[in-house]
Amino acid sequence: MGGRHTAVTTRLRNQCADRRGHGCWRCVPMLLVVLCVEAVRLVSVVGDEPEAGLQLPASSHDILELRTAEGLRPRVLTGLIEDLSANSVVFRLTSGQTQVLQLRQLRAIRFVRSEVWEEGLSLMQQRRYRAALPKLEQGLSREARPWALREIRGDLAVCQRAAGESQQCLATVEQILESDPETRHILALPLLWDERLVADAGLRVVPADLSAKSLARQLTAASVLLGDEAAGVQSESTLRSLRRSGRSNFGLLAELQLWRLRLLRGGPELLEAESWQQRSVELDRWTRGPAELLIGRALFRLNEDDRAAVSLLW
């Protein structure tokens, strides 16, 4: 079984603009729209490298590197990952003690992954998303641990979205949700964050999807149909329902899609945009990307170009 210890990492960077710009920022909006197309497709875990997965021999050790104050040596834990779901890791130390750690506490997670998974992630780093798909699919057949299978499917969903296979992406995320209802991987869903961008031709949603049994399908349909004349009101209602659903991952994304509704309706005013900024500080790194995108768009509309650029380049 081939593999090596690697850092499980990724960052969501969503960057886009909402005005034609003026002054030194005249060319920035269109550039940021282009950047947004790529950035909104990227999702995942801890640190600065692509999210990794597991094919772990029983004798192998996993490594968690904890965040510490600047200048201090990182604290390292050695043991075995028993679960990785929602935003936490269940970790059994070599001493036999079990700890539950939040992902925000960790700087990196390292574990052995299969060679074919590693090849898929390498292609993913090169933005060869379509070529990465068969490698990641092969990786599923070589993995037995439930949490590792979710991580592979998370990578697979990102590549499916980037390759324009949005229906498959939605199905993959729905499969992850079956065993991890609070998964962070819902950020791989093909949601629309800027209505000026053409919706993915591979994604087909209809108003009936707004009341589908699958919350992932509801959220995706509401996002795509939010600006639709016929289905806009129902889409807003679906988002408000998801916001109150008690499912934190869906609630946060529904909240951000409602921010986008304010942009569709000509808002927000400066005070509201600043309240969005305060709210974004409370978000985890994965959800904050789309939030900063919408904040940047709002600030550009309000002629706050410098502040907008900070958000768009977050």
- How many CA atoms lie within 13 Å of 151's alpha carbon, on the beta-carbon side? 33
Cα→Cα distances 297→25, 29, 110, Å: 13, 9, 36
Q: Is the pLDDT of residue 4 over 70?
A: no
Alpha-carbon distance of 249 to 267, in angstroms, equals 25
In this prediction, residue 148 carries a pLDDT of: 96
How would residue 60 be classed by pLDDT, with cut points 50, 70 and 90?
low
For β-strands 62-66 and 106-112, DSSP reports them as antiparallel
Alpha-carbon distance of 289 to 174, in angstroms, equals 22
In this prediction, residue 201 carries a pLDDT of: 55
pTM attached to this predicted model: 0.79
Domain map (residue ranges) of the chain? 5-312
- CA gyration radius, the chain: 20
Tens of pLDDT, residues 17-48: 343 334 444 344 433 333 333 333 333 344 43
In this prediction, residue 108 carries a pLDDT of: 93
**3-state secondary structure (DSSP) of residue 56:** coil
In this prediction, residue 25 carries a pLDDT of: 40
Give every CB contact of residue 56 below 8 A, 6+ residues apart in sequence. 62, 80, 81, 111, 112, 145, 148
Residue labelled with tokens 């933005």: 127
